[in-house]
Structures are given as C-alpha cells and as structure tokens.
Structure 1
Amino acid sequence: MGLPELTFSLKKAADNVATRVSSGIVAMILRDAKANGLHTINRESDIPSELGAANIAAIKRAMLGYITKPTTLYVSVIGADADIKTGFQALAIHSYDYLVGPVDIASADATALAAQVKAQRTKRYVGKVILPNVAADDEGVINFVSSGIKVGEGTFTAAQYAGRIAGVLAGTPAYCSATYAALPEVTGVDTLADPDSAVDAGKLFLIDDGRQVKLSRAVTSKTTLAEDDPDMLKKVKLVAALDLIRYYAITTVEDEYLGKCANTYDNKCILLVAFSDFFASLEAQNVIQEGSSGAELDAEAIRTYLLGIAEEAGDTEEIARIKALTDEALRKEDTGSHVFLYLYGHVLDAMEDFHITLEAQ
C-alpha cells in the first residue's frame, strides 16, 4: 500500500468526520404490532404508513433536527413482547450517532439498553443513546429527564420526546453546541428545582426562560472521571467528534492498510504521514484546534510490548538491551504484527460560557 492511496483514503475519512458531525444519523427502536423489521428513512414518505400514530409522530419529531436535519433515520421496529436487545442488535449493520428507545420504554428496558450501548462501545462504533431518567455515568448515555413537555394540546414524557432531542443533537454542526438549542414547538415544561446541580449530575433537560423553551447545557451522563479520563467526556459535542474521529481513523486503516504491507519502519512512517494529513484536514474544517494534532509511534507502548516478550522468555540480556534503547531506537524495533500509534489533537468546543463586563459612563 503506497502513501498516495492511504493519504487519499484518510483525507476522505476526514471529510466524512466533518460531514457526520455537521449532520448526523439517528437510530430508533420502536414497538409496534406492524411493520416489524429494519427501515431506512430519508424523507417522510419513507415512514411505514402502517405504524401506529404515536410512532409515526416520534419519527417526524426526530426528523426536525436543529441547525441542520439528520441525514438518515434507521428505525428498528419490534413487537410488543420482543426483547429490547433484539431491536438494538438489528441496528448493528448500520453506523449511527444517536439512538433512542420506544416512546413508552419501560425502566427495565431503558437500563438494559444503556448496558448494551456501554458494552458495545468498547468493541465497535455505537452512537450515544438518549434515555429517560437513566443515570448511567457514561459518555455513551445521555440522561434526558424533562417531564410535562407541552406541545400544542399534548403533554409528553421524556421517553416520548427523546427522539426529538436526538434529532437536535444530530442536527448540530461541529462548530456549534446544542446548548440552549431552541425547540419552538414546545410551549412549556416542568421546571427543575436546581438546574445547575442537575447539569453537574449529568442530566439533560429543557428550560423555559420565559421567552422560549430550550435545551440545557448539552452534557452526557458522565460524572465520574478516572485519573486518565479527559473532562471532555462530559460534553455531548466533544464526545460526538471524538467518537467519529476514532471510528473513521480505525476503519479506514483496517480497510486500506491492515494486512496489506510488511510491518517495517518505513511503512509505519507512511502511516504516520497519512494520519498527519488526516488531522490537518480536520484542523482546516475546525473540528480540532489548529496546530494541536499529530501522530507518532508510541515508544513507551513498544517498550512495554518488547519487555513483556523478553520477560516471558526469561532473556535477561534482551531485557537490559530494551531498557537501554532510546525512544527513537525503540520506534525502529520489530514489533511483529503490532503497530503502536500515539495520535493526539484538541477537539474544539463551542462558545457556551460568556463573561461580559459593561462599563457605563
């Protein structure tokens, strides 16, 4: 695999990242007696007419979007008695950015769906799931807690309106945040006693400021950070961009590079150059901060890998040799089939917190 082909593929992947974080894809699991199966919806005419009125309305709400509209909806329709996992597993053939459950999702199903998403996100790209009142403490789960959502003559629960929120988040471009996104159709909502504490607790909700009803700060349910966890895992916008960068980088390399060339230092350098171009494209599109990104061979990870082999073999001379190697020398060592990369870049946030001083004279 030569440099031009891989570089072209990763530049195309960078364009895909920018496109997806500008207008994402929503997945829905619905329960209905009819139209069971998987449906792809790009326009209202694609909605199965035999679905119940509540489900059709939920799909239409998700399609409203925000600054843009979701590019596609994948809808998995299951029967009333089917396991929620069935609907989730059916969506595995698609890549999507936000997932919601049935409009009448039970608490047990919401908890089960959160567990499914958390488990799968460690293995493959799975979008963030928006669930009613599920404090999952995970960046892959968005805990939507509003109640008494008034639209026209109707009043909706968090579960019924989760699809609308998914559409808002999917319709938020990379350079924006969904924080304070207005929902013009909503005329009222139950007020939380302590909104600031709710945000700190990883809750997403609607605010009625007297002029309009809008989304609160767009946070995930992540509240507990491990020592090596970045604070960005608490923000929907930043997690969305990070997820897509990881997804397109990994899948492009798997499709275009994995198994197609010898694991030499020269070929590793070709891969690094291609990744540098990938990040440069993302910098140019304001997904990550200019000058913040890069790609290099991970010397520390290589040292750990080689030491593990030497220690397992009980080769004291090899252990001493590896420990004495410089980082640059380590990067040129033979690592079998393994390639250890260190990729970095600062994902840009949106303007949310303003500090304004007005001096009147």
Structure 2
Amino acid sequence: MGLPEINIIFKTKGLTAIQRSERGIVAVILKDDTEGGQPVSIYKSILDVDFSQFTQRNYEYLKLLYEGGPYKVIVVKVPTTTESLSPWLKKLRDLKWNYLTVPGITEDEKTLVSAWIKEEREKDHKTFKAVLPECVADHEGIINLTTGNIQSTLGGEAFSTAEYCARIAGVLAGLSLARSSTYFVLSDIVSADVPDDPDERIDKGELVIVFDSEKYKIGRGVNSLTTFTAEHGEEFSKIKIMEGVDLYQDDIRSTFEDAYVGKVINDYDNKQAFVAAIIAYQKSLEGNVLDRSFDNTAAVDIDQQRLYIEGKGIDTTDMSDIDIAKYNTGSKVFISSHVKFVDAMEDLSLVCNM
C-alpha cells in the first residue's frame, strides 16, 4: 500500500511549506488586442514574456506582478471587446493558482469575479483568492485594495487602484508564511493618495497603503471579511492566517487524492495510519503556520462515524467509541483535526516603568 511513502510525502510537504509559500502563483486577466501569443500563457519570469505581444501598459502590469516574486504567473489574454469574463474564469477554474487580479476590471466584472471567488471557495472548496479594487465583499477570499493614484517607478502614468492590485497580488503570492504583509514596504511607490483614516478603513476590511514619513507600505494585511461568526472569527480576516488555512487544506486534500483514493483499503488500521501522517504533517508546520504551544491534533471523527452508522438504521447506544471508530464505513473517511494557526507580530503594547 505504500504507507511509508505516503508519510514521507506529508512530511516533505510540511517541511517545505514555508519555501513553497514564498513562491505562489498569480493569475492575471489582461485585455489586449496585440497580435501574437496564446490566450493562456504561463510565465516563470518576466524575462520569458515577449513584450511585443502586449501593450506597454499591460507589460507594466506584468512588471508590477513580478516585483513581488511569485513562482509563476498565468496570463489570460482576452480581447478588449470581451463582453463577459465568465468563459475565461471557467478556464482558470481548472488551473492551480493562489491570487487573481484584473487590472482593467469594470464595475460589472468586479461583481462577477467577487461572486465567483466566493462560490468556488464555499461550494467547491477551492482556495482561490482575488485582489480587487474598492470591493466591499465581506469575505476572506477577497482582498479589498482602496488606495489609488499611485505613482510608481515600475510604470509611466500613475496607477489606479484597480491597476495597482497587480502589485499587491504579486506581493501576497511571493510572501513567506514566516511573516505577514503588514508593513510590507512598497519601495516602488513615489507618491500615492494615502488615507487620513487608515485605522477606520482597516476595520472596514480595506487593504490600504500608508506613508510613515519615509516609505510607503501596506497598512495591515487584512482581507475584506468584517462579519464574524463562531466558525469564522476575527482571525479569518488576516491574510496570513488564511494563507495557512488554505495551505493546510490544499496539502491534505491533494495528498489524499494522489496517494490514498483508490489505492488504500479503508479499514481502521489504515485510517489510523492516515491520522498519524496528518499529525506528523501538523508537527512540521508548527512555528510559522501552526502554534507550537497548542496541542495540534487529529483523529478519526467519532461523531461523524456515529451519524454514518445511525444513518443505516443501527442503534449505537451500546457501542463504545472504539466500536464506532472501527466500524466499516465503506468508502467514507471521517477525520477531524484540532489546530491553531499562528499570526505574525503586529501590535505592541509597551509599558515603560520608571
């Protein structure tokens, strides 16, 4: 069954989580009628881009993206007369990426993209995120940039809020999970319309750019989520936390699909082996992704197994937890984990006693 090999896969993914997160993937939709190139292209470096296939402005957007150091960029090149982005979003759905940006986005397209990201995350559990301008989405998958009129060394004319989303997407994709995007210095900015009320705007789920009298930087790494629930607390509004959550979800799902589905018998021993692999993976994330002082655990989900058994009309009153755990659940695998994600240092309260 290759279980030792599977354990190695989990361990490797955990140990390389930080390095992998430093090199994320950005998808960008560019409206361009310039001849040449493919509708969908993947570039690992700005040097791979044939600038003759794009307008000067679109090439500047790509420079904004690559300044953040993403692993690669998926470029979807669409005609300027495109009436709907829906067909192009469908193409992106089957590809792997972390952040989406559309520098030339319209108000109608912004509504479409925001709704699509929410649907993909909630319905199909995709870990897509988008950086959008002036988008009050109230959702962890949407980063709402609200600073505009940005003069940058990476472009000629000033960049609008929508255009500069490309720079933010590149930064977020390139950042290590060892830090957050809060106070990330945007060294390319010469001037920008920074807000007079950054604290209030951040509380409203806005990602703003601030100036500290010397340099321009991201005020705080937050997404647009402002409505909190028991399942989605305030921590879900932090971009770093969501990066960890998405990484955790992607790693476990992809490993299960690639190494377990159809290849491993679904009995109690193999379920426990899978749990052990998850626990080992969690251990390797402790420090930069998971809180090392927390008891990060995983186990066969007794409650879900009990519901499965009772769903078959069987009375479980006299069954012990071990009986429940060992019960044959067909092809169903019920696992629960209890973990705590860790944030970066951002807020200081210093009491100086004299």
Say whether 1:347 aligns with 2:341.
yes
2:114 aligned residue: 114
Asked if 2 retains the 8 angstrom alpha-carbon contact of 1:95 and 1:125, the reply is no
For structure 2, the residue ranges without an aligned partner over 5 or more in a row are: none
| 3-state SS of 1:154 partner | coil
The C-alpha deviation readout for 1:210-237, integer Å capped at 9, x for no partner, is: 2111111110111112222233210001
1:24 aligned residue: 24
RMSD of aligned Cα (Å): 1.7
Asked if 2 retains the 8 angstrom alpha-carbon contact of 1:293 and 1:343, the reply is yes
Say whether 1:337 aligns with 2:331.
yes
Shift of 1:279: 1.2
Q: TM-score, normalised by structure 1?
A: 0.91
Aligned length: 346
Q: TM-score, normalised by structure 2?
A: 0.92
1:133 aligned residue: 134
- Give the 5 Å matches for 1:45-194: 45-49=47-51, 50-65=53-68, 69-82=69-82, 83-101=84-102, 103-122=103-122, 123-151=124-152, 154-194=157-197
Alignment match of 1:242 (pick from 240, 245, 248): 245
Asked if 1 retains the 8 angstrom alpha-carbon contact of 2:207 and 2:222, the reply is yes
Equivalent residue letter for 2:130? V
Q: Report sequence identity in percent.
A: 30
Alignment match of 2:213 (pick from 199, 210, 213): 210
* Counterparts of 1:154 and 1:31, CA distance in 2: 18
Shift of 1:87: 2.5
Alignment match of 1:228 (pick from 228, 231, 238): 231
Instruction: Indicate the larger mover: 222-231 or 111-120.
Output: 222-231
Say whether 1:4 aligns with 2:4.
yes
Shift of 1:99: 1.1
* Counterparts of 1:81 and 1:252, CA distance in 2: 41
1:328 aligned residue: 322
Say whether 1:219 aligns with 2:183.
no
* Counterparts of 2:302 and 2:276, CA distance in 1: 17
1:314 aligned residue: none
* Counterparts of 2:300 and 2:26, CA distance in 1: 36
* Counterparts of 2:85 and 2:17, CA distance in 1: 30
Following TM superposition, the consecutive aligned residue runs of length 4 or more in structure 1 with deviations greater than 3 angstroms are none
Instruction: Indicate the larger mover: 116-125 or 138-147.
Output: 116-125
The C-alpha deviation readout for 1:16-60, integer Å capped at 9, x for no partner, is: 533332221111111111335111111222113210111100001
Asked if 2 retains the 8 angstrom alpha-carbon contact of 1:70 and 1:167, the reply is yes
* Counterparts of 1:196 and 1:327, CA distance in 2: 49
Equivalent residue letter for 1:357? V
